[in-house]
Amino acid sequence: MTKRPNAKDDLRARARELRLQGMTYDQIQVEPGCSKSSISLWVRDLPKPERKRTREEASEIARRGREVTLRRREEERQAVKRAAAEEIGAMPERELFLLGAGLYWAEGTKGKPHARRERVTFVNSDPGMIRVFSARLDLLGIGPDRRRYYVMIHETADAAGAEQYRGDLVGADSSAFGKTTLKRHNPRTNRKNVNGGHHGCLAIRILGSADLYRRIEGAWYGIVGAAESTD
């Protein structure tokens, strides 16, 4: 049986060639751009080279090797993401309707058996989630006059900048925004989201939304029932 060519055959051959030239794993890793674990498997039957470098030289070679590996992994991650995004294509209205119901049931406020609150309030920080949910509101004919927005953000962050950012995101001016909720600062907390890209969370509240809430809840139960029927 003829062996099918493997995409890593060339890398393996080059790694072995460099090893025979006396290179270490760190040095080999820089050129072919493969991991040290793969290199160790490919060249383990070859003689080990004599070490002739200083500790500083070894550290610099290792650093370059790590950079190559990290860059390669990032390229692979981005390639997978691009391919997955391209698979989606155009989204029919029915799919957007179902997706919006699922998003709301995951991130929106919901009533309890002991406290029935049938009103729609969606809270999230991710711009993509907010855009998708807003698109679903458009699909259902929920106009801007029924939408109210509230920013929730840490008191040490740029609240005014966050309000401007969220307003641009949803296409609403300041008149559509209620009072911003500021979270008090805890000195013992080591916050990571302190850069200019932190815009807090946005709450989207729909006025007169009891019927809309029931439609979302019913749609979600329909999705669950359809999933269970496929078992």
User: Tokens for 224?
Assistant: 């669950």
Is the sign of the CA dihedral 222, 223, 225, 229 positive or negative? positive
> Region 72-87: what's the mean pLDDT?
90
- pLDDT tens, position by position, 179-204: 998 887 666 555 555 555 678 999 99
C-beta contacts of 49-54 below 8 A and 24+ residues apart = 49/19, 49/22, 49/23, 49/24, 50/22, 51/24
Long-range contacts of 132-136 (CB under 8 A, 24+ apart): 132/96, 132/99, 132/100, 132/103, 133/100, 133/103, 133/104, 133/204, 134/170, 134/204, 135/96, 135/100, 136/96, 136/97, 136/99, 136/100, 136/103
pLDDT in tens, 115-136: 788 899 999 999 999 999 999 9
* Domains of the chain, residue spans: 9-88, 93-229
Who has greater pLDDT, 10 or 163?
163
Query: Rounded to two decimals, what is the model's pTM?
Result: 0.66
Q: What is the mean pLDDT of residues 72-81?
A: 90
How confident is the prediction for the chain on average, in pLDDT? 84
Tell me how far apart the alpha carbons of residues 99 and 196 are, in angstroms, rounded to a whole number. Answer: 30
